[in-house]
Amino acid sequence: MSENIELVNFARTDIKVTPIGLGVWQFADGGFWSALPTKTMNAIVKTSLDEGINWFDTAEAYGRGKSERNLSTALKASGKKDGDIIVATKWMPVLRRARSILETIEERLYHLDGFSIDLYQIHNPGSISSIKNQMRNMVELVNRGKIKSVGVSNFTTRMMRKAHEELEKNDIPLVSNQVRYSLIRRKKDQNGFLDAAKELGIKVIAYSPLEQGLLTGRFHKNMEARKEIGYARKYYSVTKKKVKQTKELIDTLENIGQKHDVEISTIALSWLIDYHKDLVVAIPGASKPEQVKKNTEAMRIKLSSAELNELDEKSQVV
């Protein structure tokens, strides 16, 4: 079902991704998310592939390799082999030196069990080493053929520029910066971050684009549903205050969704990937195959300029 989906190209690479990918933090066998049965994870990946998704985002930090391994298992269960899809993963830098990037790459490849790393990202700015040294080691991995492209995650505008500058010295692009961005998390529109990314040719990968379920409307219709989610989500992302603050926006999303015959979450994702054209791509997660279908519909509908602007206006006041 990917024939009508326009792909987004990572700068100066042959990597082209669908505007919606699948984030698989929830494949980490528990922790922040409830553990998923292997059968369910396999079904989520199979549905993603059937619906046209061509890339998957995981990380070392997601269960110390469990998410990577479960992703690999699910891809194989769907008959996929290396090169059929695009895999992004991340090095965890917290309290580590840059040399760990080289020392741990074989662990990443071991857990991915036969799948190459198309995009390797620095997970956050928590390394003991400088950005210069981190990028030097990422360059080494590219030159060794261990990874195909370099990205960062949770880097500020200044940090992103520095990483880009260091890679450019070796004629290697910084292709992405993965950050938390959504209809109700709009600071990056206002602080020059998106403008800098566009200037440098860096794609913005939006994680938690549905604010961990807040932008599905589920909790607005039934506040008691908060009892069914974990403590961290309940008291960080889906607070009672945030549910009340976003009521008007959710009503607008629902009204627009009814016009297009899709769910609230679909409209929230469609705005994200359409409003800034191909600058922003998104990696919503899913704990059920049917959630994947709602997410991927965002790539097949087209919001009008009036709808995009209305959502922009409504979300600015949240």
Q: Write the pLDDT tens digit of every residue in 87-140.
A: 999 999 999 999 999 999 999 999 999 999 999 999 999 999 999 999 999 999
Largest interatomic CA distance in the chain: 54
| Ramachandran class of 285: left when φ > 0, alpha when ψ lies in -120 to 50, beta otherwise | beta
Supply the pLDDT for residue 38. Answer: 97
CA 160 to chain centre: 17
Distance, CA of 300 to CA of 5 (rounded, Å): 7
Domain count for the chain:
1
Place 280 in a pLDDT band, splitting at 50, 70 and 90. Answer: very high
Give the H or E element holding residue 70. helix 66-77
Alpha-carbon dihedral of residues 121, 125, 126, 131, nearest 10 degrees?
80
**104, 60 Cβ separation under 8 angstroms:** yes
Band of residue 231 on the pLDDT scale cut at 50, 70, 90? low
For residue 30, being part of any structural domain is answered with yes
- Whether 179 is covered by a domain: the verdict is yes
| pLDDT tops 70 at residue 163 | yes
Is residue 257, in this structure, part of any structural domain at all? no
Instruction: Classify residue 313: in a domain, yes or no.
Output: no
Q: How far apart are CA 314 and CA 184, in angstroms?
A: 9
Helices (H) and strands (E) in the chain, counts: 15, 10
Q: Does the residue 274 lie in any domain?
A: yes
Would residue 312 count as lying in a domain?
no
Element (H, E) at 245: helix 240-245
Q: How far apart are the first and last CA of the chain?
A: 35
Residue 308 inside a domain? The answer is: no
| pLDDT band for position 238 (cuts 50, 70, 90) | confident
Tokens of 201: 């040719």
Task: Report helix, strand or coil for 1.
Answer: coil
- The answer to whether residue 83 is domain-embedded is yes
Place 34 in a pLDDT band, splitting at 50, 70 and 90.
confident
Number of neighbours of residue 126 by Cβ within 10 angstroms: 12
Closest to 68 (Cα-Cα) out of 112, 35, 107, 100: 112
With beta carbons less than 8 A apart as the criterion, state whether 240 and 276 touch. Answer: no
Q: How far apart are CA 247 and CA 288, in angstroms?
A: 25
What is the number of residues in the chain?
318
Q: Please give the residue range of the domain that contains residue 17.
A: 8-212+263-303
CATH number at residue 84: 3.20.20.100
Residues identified as active-site: 62
Contact 157, 179 (CB under 8 A): no
For the chain, give the mean pLDDT.
Answer: 95
On whether the CB atoms of residues 188 and 157 are closer than 8 A, the answer is: no
